[in-house]
Amino acid sequence: MKRIILLGLALSGVVCSFGQKNFGIKIYQNTDFFETQYYNSGLNRRTKVDNVNFSRFSLALDMETKKGYTHEIELMIPELSKSLDNIQFPMNYKFREAEWLDGEATSYSLRYELSKTLTNKVKRFGFNLGLGINPYYVHVEYIPNIENAYHLSNKLYGFAVNAIPRVTYKLSPRFRLDLNVPLKIYDLRGEKTRIKNPNIPLRQQETTEHSNIFFESAYTIRLGIMYKLNK
């Protein structure tokens, strides 16, 4: 989490160095599409669920520079100790499932985007194309509810690269609608798994893996409304 906050502050400093022209505050309603797989090792059963979530909201700071570029920093509301069935951060998951385990997840994330308007800024409708970086951290815990069982945890961390096409519509000099889709084209992901089993050596209780994921089938449709702080 500290690394994500520091990255957000660093990105803010980079944005400020470009010289600001217009500032805006944006609220996004996010419609998320992602997949969850539940694996029960005792029954040797794997269940797949396709998720569509409409209830996630996020906040963004929008900054347009004198050079005609737009910078945006989106802050996603953290999820704290949510049940595995209710996690909302959009990525494809693989969860353990057992009657003797209770699972919960915590997530932190933000997104930085640099974009360019490709149409005439005077017109009400506009088309914009951007590139975004989305660092994230998801902590999954499996808590045993019986004796003689062991606590398990998975830490997923990394960053995704997004291509972001968007359509905007000016409602007034200060208000604007924004419809866009961050398409995940690459995800560099690390996963650290730990089982607190005192019967095995400490170094074997923890494993770390890294993977390169291209075009993951998890994405979001964002509908935002922005208020410009200066005309």
Q: What is the mean pLDDT of the chain?
A: 88
pLDDT-based confidence at 67, cuts 50/70/90? Answer: confident
Strand partners, 179: 167, 223
Per-residue pLDDT, averaged over 164-190, amounts to 95
User: 33 or 2: whose pLDDT is higher?
Assistant: 33
CA nearest 168: which of 116, 99, 132? 116
What would the mean pLDDT of 209-227 be, rounded to a whole number? Answer: 96
Q: What percent of the chain has pLDDT over 90?
A: 68
Whether 140 shows a pLDDT value over 50: the answer reads yes
Amino acid at 148: N
23 or 4, greater pLDDT: 23
DSSP secondary structure letters along 148-210: T---EEEEEEEEEEEEEEEEEEESSSSEEEEEE--EEEEEEEEEEEEE--TTS-GGGSEEEEE
Q: What is the pLDDT of residue 86?
A: 93
pLDDT at 18: 44
Q: What is the pLDDT of residue 231?
A: 63
Q: Distance between CA 102 and CA 106 in Å, rounded?
A: 14
CA distance 200 to 194: 12
Confidence of residue 12 (pLDDT cuts 50, 70, 90): very low
**Does position 6 have pLDDT exceeding 50, yes or no?**
no
Mean pLDDT of 1-27: 58
Give me the phi and psi of 150, to 5 degrees please. -120, 145
pTM of the full predicted structure? 0.83
Could you tell me if 151 and 132 are in contact, meaning their C-beta atoms sit under 8 angstroms apart? no
Rounded Cα distance, 146 and 47, in Å: 24
Mean pLDDT, residues 119-134 = 88
At 230 the pLDDT is 77
Q: Distances from the Cα of 74 to the Cαs of 47, 97, 138, 178, in angstroms?
A: 33, 33, 17, 13
Domains of the chain from N-terminus onward: 2-228 (2.40.160.20)
pLDDT digits (tens, 9 = 90+) for 20-62: 578 999 999 999 999 999 998 778 889 999 999 999 999 999 9
